[in-house]
A and B are shown apart, each in its own frame.
Chain A
Amino acid sequence: MSLSRRFQSRSERPIQRDTFVHEWPEAGLILFNGPNDPPPQIRVHSGRVVELDGKPEDRFDAIDRFIARRAIDVDVAEHAMCLDSTDLARRILDLTTPRRDVIRLMNGLTPAKLVEVVNRLNVVEMMMALQKMRARRTPSNQAHVTNRKETPALLAADAAEAAERGFAELETTVGVARYAPFNALAVLIGSQTGSGTALTQCAVEESLGLRLAWLGLTTYAETLSVYGTERAFRDGDDSPWSKAFLASAYASRGIKVRFTSGSGSEALMGHSEGKSMIYLEARCLMLIKGAGSQGVQNGSISCVALPGALPGGVRGVLAENLLASLLDLELASGNDAMSSHSDIRKAAKLMLQFLPGTDFVFSGYSSMPREDNLFGGGNFDAEDLDDYNCLQRDMLVDGGLRPVTEERVLEVRRRAALAVRDVFAELGLPPVSDTEVEAAVAARSSSDMPDRDVVADLRAAEEFLARGLNGMDVMAALARRGYDDIAEKILGVQKLRISGDYLQTSAVVVPGPRVLSAVNDPNDYLGPGTGYRLTEERLKEISSIPQAQEPRDMGAPSEAAAGFLDEIGPATPGGDGQEIVIAVGPAFGAALESTLLGLHHRSVLASLMEGIQAEGLRPRLVRVRSTSDCGFIGHAGARLSGSGISIGIQSKGTTVIHRSDLEPLGNLELFPQAPNLTLESYRVIGRNAAKYAKREPVLPVPLQIDNMARLKFIVKTTVMHLRETACVQAGAPPVELRMRHA
């Protein structure tokens, strides 16, 4: 328990639940400069790398051997390795050096040299570098689609919504491995139900993953994990060659693949060998490049809270993203696993990938609430989607998503759930009930879904594979049940496999279907006026969030509103010392009829009058027509008031108590925060004005401070003030008012 109450209240903030540790370099708990990180060095002999980062060929481990043989471009290595690291870092940012020229140099660097180069950049420079170096010009995004009950109607509905929201890839997985074909099937159907054309995958063990892809139930894979040390690799039960072979195996059937790596995994597995996280990640990335992968998902992925606990951890994660782009790999930049308890910290971290843009900003945005995320992720989830759309709109940054209306979402969810129900029926799979369909359309999470017969589902899923059912059967079933459009779209995406077009770097499928990749949409950023820019159409799409209001419609008086104030002639200075003038603005009770808080102008006047009358004085109503400023309205009123005291009030409710001998912008009391003024406040304002006139001691009306008032009301304030100002008649004298009986 802290002695300081401020320390005490801070100790309850979410950030305190995050773990922070000092570096422990020998255990690999360090981002850069591990005790066993080698200095950069290379020796090439007859076109062959014979020394790599201080290690001669005969001491190469499997990863060194693979990198030396396959990753490094020996033609540029000796030249590139001689360049100063700061100079190389500057060339990355230099806006006269095209991306391709940077890549050519990077291809000749060793892991230690690459790390030294990126470590010369601060985070802003890394972001600028990422903007220039990512492979595809147009950024995009990937979603996770899973749920705890592994219920197909919900998977399909969620996939349909995610694709409709603009996610270019959908990744599902399984809680129970045997569900895999059904989960893949449901997500496949959902992915092509709305207007999207997302590629889909199902993360399962490698041989099953291959099989699902071969059966046409998925279109890409990203489960090919690699590690930066040999022992970590062995614990992962793979070798560089097995992974490289697997990559070719997927490609041989026209299926897109990216690898997975990320800082912290070796330390977590106890095999960091005293090397830094980013050095080991550089080895992973070079291995991935050497294996011929078009891309990678990195950014620490599931280990992110480990680098995050260390100094420079979030910068390190950005550095590893940048390394992938420098090696010309497609980059799906993480942001999937929980990175913090603090929303501030999470959002700040996201900006490092979101603002520069990457090929996939997330390698898994949880499109459903995180409780349903079987990857254990959900750093940003379904509940945060409106926040994300606002971030795109605020900064005019393309984060890959588009705002959608609830109506459209319900429509695509229903159609996807119905399609799954009918395909299950058509293929003789356990029935999906109408109750499930209805629940899936409206569900927040799988808690809203009825339970299914798990035993029957698992048996049927096994039979599905045994019967050799595949994507073709799914398309036929869809067509037979009247879902020709979905079947056509699935076929359209599957058909692209024949061309191999989405095997090129950073490929996504956009409506058409057309393939967009680093080949036909290469990042050509070289400073202002180049690279990706929002089109007019996309700008409009990002800007049109459903909750945006039409300002022209705000605060407009309803047709039915009848005026209740009659103008009965010019207002002249009064001689009655018992009168208090209530001076209203030009639109009060006319073009506008209620205050910011929504109090009707008639009630406001009644309260002010009641307060004045309670003190035995007489209220008198005038309208000031020549100004909309509160101080000037009040002052004009005071000069007409027999007592010299007035209450000035704007239509939005801002009020002043004024006296004729004060400067127009002076006052006795000012109530600038109209949203905090209630009818009771107006009554007390009336009372105080009367007391001033009687020269009695006055206790000022206590002011409430609401720090959020300006935030909440500034737009409406502006619009109402614009309307009032539009009613101003320059030079028009004040007029006497009479209130009609209700």
Chain B
Amino acid sequence: MPDYPLSENLPDQLKTPSGLPFSEITLETVLSGRISIDDLRVTTEALEWQAQVAEREGRRQLADNLRRAAELVHVPENLILKIYDSLRPARSTRKDLLALADHLEATFQARRCAELLREAAG
């Protein structure tokens, strides 16, 4: 069980999405241009740890949300915006949503997000 807060208790195991260790994120690395804004993002692993923390605290739904988030880590931003849009009222048919769910699941192994989409499809 990870010890919260991870930034204080697990700094050695925290990495950026590109694999850079947490401790190497310094103003010098910013100035050297070695990291980009995308390096300041959470990783799938960290989200899973946070989901475990939330679960331990009795927050089942928050944990579920963090696991959905973990599935979206590698989903490009324009696709995320497209999915969000398609979930808004009268934007898509049931079939559209189911197709989108299949795509998410097949391409990004986003099982929980796909489930959310299928549930929205009714």
Interface residues of A (CB under 8 A from B): 65, 69-71, 73, 100, 103-104, 206-207, 210-211, 214-216, 233-234, 237-242, 244-254, 289-294, 328, 470-472, 475-476, 479-480, 484, 487-488, 491, 494-501, 503-505, 514-515, 517-520, 522
By beta carbon, the residue of chain B nearest A216 is: B37
Q: Does B99 contact A (CB under 8 A)?
A: no
A500 pairs with B25, CB closer than 8 A: no
Binding site secondary structure of chain A: helix
List CB contacts (< 8 Å) of B6-56 with chain A: 6-8, 10, 14-16, 22, 25-27, 30-31, 35-37, 39-43, 46-47, 49-50, 53-54
A476 to B28, CA, bound (A): 9
List CB contacts (< 8 Å) of B40-75 with chain A: 40-43, 46-47, 49-50, 53-54, 57-66, 68-73, 75
Interface residues of B (CB under 8 A from A): 4-8, 10, 14-16, 22, 25-27, 30-31, 35-37, 39-43, 46-47, 49-50, 53-54, 57-66, 68-73, 75, 77, 80-81, 83-85, 87-90, 113, 116-117, 119-120
A207 to B81, CA, bound (A): 7
A499-B22, A504-B50, A519-B53 known; A491 and B30 CB under 8 Å? yes
B30 pairs with A248, CB closer than 8 A: no
A70 to B116, CA, bound (A): 10
A491-B25, A498-B22, A514-B5 known; A254 and B87 CB under 8 Å? no
A215 to B77, CA, bound (A): 11
Of B16, B66, B119, the residue contacting A500 (CB under 8 A) is: B66
Of A244, A479, A519, the residue contacting B57 (CB under 8 A) is: A519
A245 to B54, CA, bound (A): 18
B68 pairs with A238, CB closer than 8 A: no
A501 pairs with B87, CB closer than 8 A: no
A464 to B80, CA, bound (A): 22
B77 to chain A, nearest CB (A): 6
Having A239-B120, A292-B61, A505-B54, one finds 20 other A-B pairs with CB under 8 Å, namely A210-B80, A215-B37, A234-B90, A239-B87, A241-B119, A248-B69, A252-B47, A252-B69, A252-B80, A472-B36, A495-B40, A498-B14, A498-B15, A498-B25, A499-B7, A499-B42, A501-B7, A504-B50, A505-B59, A518-B57
B27 pairs with A479, CB closer than 8 A: yes
B30 pairs with A479, CB closer than 8 A: yes
A500 pairs with B46, CB closer than 8 A: yes
A73 to B27, CA, bound (A): 46
By beta carbon, the residue of chain A nearest B39 is: A498
B47 pairs with A251, CB closer than 8 A: yes
A491 to B25, CA, bound (A): 8
Residue of A104, A214, A290 most packed against chain B (CB within 10 A): A214
A519 pairs with B4, CB closer than 8 A: yes
B116 pairs with A500, CB closer than 8 A: no
B30 pairs with A487, CB closer than 8 A: yes
8 nearest A-B residue pairs (beta carbon): A292-B65, A254-B42, A241-B120, A251-B69, A242-B87, A252-B72, A248-B68, A499-B7
A249 pairs with B72, CB closer than 8 A: yes
B95 to chain A, nearest CB (A): 16
A469 to chain B, nearest CB (A): 10
Chain B residues, CB < 8 A from A248: 65, 68-69, 71-72, 113, 116
